[in-house]
Structure 1
Amino acid sequence: MVIDSTSLRSHFPSLDDGVAYFDSPGGTQTPRPVAEAIATTMLRPLSIRGTSTASERNAELVVTEFRAAYADLLGVPAQGVVHGRSATQLTYDFSRHLAKAWQPGDEIVISRLEHDSNVRPWIQAAGRAGVTVRWIDLDGPELDLGSLRRVLSPRTRLVAVTAASNVLGTIPSVRRIADLAHEAGALLYVDGVHFAAHHLVDVPGLGADFFVCSPYKFFGPHCGVLAAAPDLLDGLRPDKLLPSSDAVPERFEFGTLPYEMLAGATAAVDFLAGIASGAPGAGTSRRDRLARSFAAIHEHETGLLARLEQGLGDLAVTVHSRAADRTPTTLMSLTGRDAREAQEYLAGRDVLAPAGSFYAYEPFTALKLPDPALRVGLAPYNTGEEVDRFLAGLADFLRK
């Protein structure tokens, strides 16, 4: 299945500015259907959820459609879909919910591959509860699962791990980590923010007890989504307002939901489901169409990544993204040159490739990566011409 780049790009008004956007690990551009869904929701009658008026029913429908869309995207029941302002906010919330059951002497395990949003909330919650933090070490750009086996014990209550590194692109074996964690009696919390933009998620297949992602990484608005089994959520008692619903998943969603954001997030899933050329419509489930689209996305991005890597082989750069299984995200340092200067130079040529450490404190520290480093993240709307433009611009910068 092939992506029709011209057709796909026509849905993104922002791409008309001529900039080659390689900043998708930080957030993608937004297609018109997503923006229209947000505007339509805000402009039609809208009230607090209910059944008495059209405005109340509109709000109820938005929430129902949002849960159904992310159930299809993540492979979980709709009642296991929780909305949050961001993945970071959801992880902070659930670190507090889960820590209520922790006791001094308990342990949690975190990996050195993480974005800090899947590190600091757990460390801070552990500190308040008197819980010991253990670490999964790195073996180069890969996770050292041997170190996980060494630190797991009957006292382990939680393992937190990324499904894909936002800087190196490394995709660890989440299923193997899940099996080891569950054998020890621990829960597995998975940061899927970077992973969900490139692969169709199967939360039960991964073995994740909790899985969090961010729709703005795959064409949606800025919000977060957490998925878990409804019966697991039912066993958690968050602090909440007394009159607010105690039903799952509503008990975890504090205050009135941002209906327009939910509508945009739903539209992003529908847009993803329609990406594959020739994907059938009627009679085919949205989950099936998503599978076809993600297969096409993977083929497209893999081809672009090969083109990028071939071109980088001729330049004075050090590529740090070397895991055997990884997303189309490449972190590099430049021999004798400053990555932020490279970012500015490329921006002058209408190429956006950001420099920094991207909240990945642990891998940057563990691997002694140069900070800042240059990151190129590929998205379905990127083209071969844009990759060539980045390579030509970087080559010119390195020659100056």
Structure 2
Amino acid sequence: MPFDITRIRAGYPALAEGHLHFDGAAGTQTAATVVDAVADAMRAGIGNRSPASGPGRRSLEIVAAARSAVADLLGVEPAGVVLGPSATALTYTLARTLGAAWRPGDEVVVSRLDHDANVRPWVQAAERAGATVRWAEFDPATGELPVGQYADLLTERTRLVAVTAASNAVGTEPDVPAIVKLAHGVGALVCVDGVHAVPHGPTDVPALGADFFVTSAYKWSGPHLAALVAAPQRWAGLRPDKLRPAADTVPERFEHGTPSFPLLAGVTAAVDHLAGLDPDARGDRRQRLRAGLTAARAHEEKVFDRLLGGLATLPGVTVLPAPARRSPTVSFRLDGLDPAEVATALGAAGICLSHGDYYAYEYFTAVGLRARGGAVRASVYHYNTDDEVDRLLAELGRLARR
């Protein structure tokens, strides 16, 4: 059946305020069922995890349900799901843990296309170990991350390759399986940043081949929590810094402190929300997620094509290059105006976008725009509409004529 955008939008209370939200890459609005799940968990009696009492058992159930939900979303085992406060925090934990075994002469490969959360933790871990950092470069004319360069970057001393599944700056979706194959050919591990990719279609981590994969729930209608996943046996061989009395089991030993049980209840609700995007979908939750996110991706691409086509007709608008294979995200500049001025003017008109470098530090430094305010970013999510795109384009046209 056609994607029922009216039904979908009704599931997001914040949309009733009237703002146009083209800033999903910075964080989507929260689904009503997620808000309810968080509130219900906070109303209920919750103790710290323990089988000794009802509230303690409830906490255990909430954590287990969140692991299972994320596992269904990504196609992995629940026992390999590490939960935490943010993708940045989890990646730092992983980088410190893996980096403790690196030695001078070892090598790490990072990409200038990535969000800094999948760059700086690895660079800093390499510096502490005396390891060498090697850089994969994107093509500034196309926005592509050429796979061929990895054959030259990788050696028998490469320990870790970090790469994004989708650029949060221009949307580029690199050929991750091909990069992983090359990395595994020299015995290197691969950490894939899936934060910007997961909201925009079905995700199959085993098919990507990633050893580690990170995602953030607040980018797919949920609360501000994240998950870093790997095969349980991969986690079993790693020993992170932890408190002495804290659990030493996998995946618990990678999770520092008492988790936010209400927000974890929201994670499960967010996955269930995504599984309900296609009301005609049948099967288990994993199958319904695939159907719902496939339908959502098709809707997003239609809306995004309208946005790209409209931007191309506006005088004074320069769109940063990106390939056809991309998530629905575009960065642009408007002649004569600083990106912050554009975003502020649009915000006054009730249109929400991002501006600056959005933590894509290396990308904007490489294209020479970071010192000039970066760019303005518009990202489409499955609750956006053609009418919203037309309003955005009309406002940009007004700004261009000032």
TM-score by length of 2: 0.97
2:166 is equivalent to residue 164 of structure 1: yes
Q: Distance in 2 between matches of 1:229 and 1:137?
A: 29
Q: Distance in 2 between matches of 1:322 and 1:116?
A: 19
Unaligned runs of 5+ in 1: none
Which position in structure 2 is the counterpart of 1:187? 189
C-alpha offsets along residues 10-37 of structure 1, whole Å, 9 cap, x if unaligned?
1211111111100000000011110111
Q: Secondary structure at 1:362's aligned position in 2?
A: helix
The Cα shift of 1:145 comes to 2.1
Which position in structure 2 is the counterpart of 1:349? 349
Q: Distance in 1 between matches of 2:279 and 2:258?
A: 38
Unaligned runs of 5+ in 2: none
Matching of residues 25-104 of structure 1 within 5 Å: 25-104=25-104
Which position in structure 1 is the counterpart of 2:290? 291
Q: Amino acid of the residue matched to residue 331 of structure 1?
A: S
Q: Distance in 2 between matches of 1:382 and 1:144?
A: 31
Matching of residues 301-316 of structure 1 within 5 Å: 301-316=300-315
Q: Distance in 1 between matches of 2:285 and 2:17?
A: 32
The answer to whether the 8 Å contact 1:135/1:148 transfers is: no
Q: Secondary structure at 2:313's aligned position in 1?
A: coil
Which position in structure 1 is the counterpart of 2:250? 248
The Cα shift of 1:321 comes to 4.0
Following TM superposition, the consecutive aligned residue runs of length 4 or more in structure 1 with deviations greater than 4 angstroms are: none
Q: Amino acid of the residue matched to residue 274 of structure 2?
A: L
2:237 is equivalent to residue 206 of structure 1: no
What is the root-mean-square deviation of aligned Cα atoms in Å? Answer: 1.1
Q: Distance in 2 between matches of 1:308 and 1:145?
A: 29
Q: Secondary structure at 1:333's aligned position in 2?
A: strand
C-alpha offsets along residues 227-246 of structure 1, whole Å, 9 cap, x if unaligned?
10000000001111222211
Q: Distance in 1 between matches of 2:181 and 2:374?
A: 36
Moved more, 134-143 or 314-323: 314-323
Identity %, equivalent residues? 49
Which position in structure 2 is the counterpart of 1:392? 394
C-alpha offsets along residues 197-241 of structure 1, whole Å, 9 cap, x if unaligned?
112111110010000010000001001100100000000011112
Q: Distance in 2 between matches of 1:314 and 1:231?
A: 53
Q: Distance in 1 between matches of 2:167 and 2:361?
A: 12
Q: Amino acid of the residue matched to residue 209 of structure 2?
A: G
The Cα shift of 1:354 comes to 2.2
The Cα shift of 1:96 comes to 0.4
The Cα shift of 1:334 comes to 1.3
C-alpha offsets along residues 161-209 of structure 1, whole Å, 9 cap, x if unaligned?
0000001100000000000000011000001000011121111100100
Which position in structure 1 is the counterpart of 2:219? 217
The answer to whether the 8 Å contact 2:85/2:226 transfers is: yes
The answer to whether the 8 Å contact 1:321/1:329 transfers is: no
The answer to whether the 8 Å contact 2:26/2:354 transfers is: no
Which position in structure 2 is the counterpart of 1:151? 153
The Cα shift of 1:339 comes to 2.0
Q: Secondary structure at 1:322's aligned position in 2?
A: coil
The Cα shift of 1:278 comes to 2.2
The number of residue pairs the alignment matches comes to 397
Moved more, 226-235 or 238-247: 238-247
C-alpha offsets along residues 243-282 of structure 1, whole Å, 9 cap, x if unaligned?
22111000101111211111111110000000114223xx
Q: Amino acid of the residue matched to residue 16 of structure 1?
A: A
Moved more, 136-145 or 202-211: 136-145
Q: Secondary structure at 1:128's aligned position in 2?
A: helix
Which position in structure 2 is the counterpart of 1:133? 133
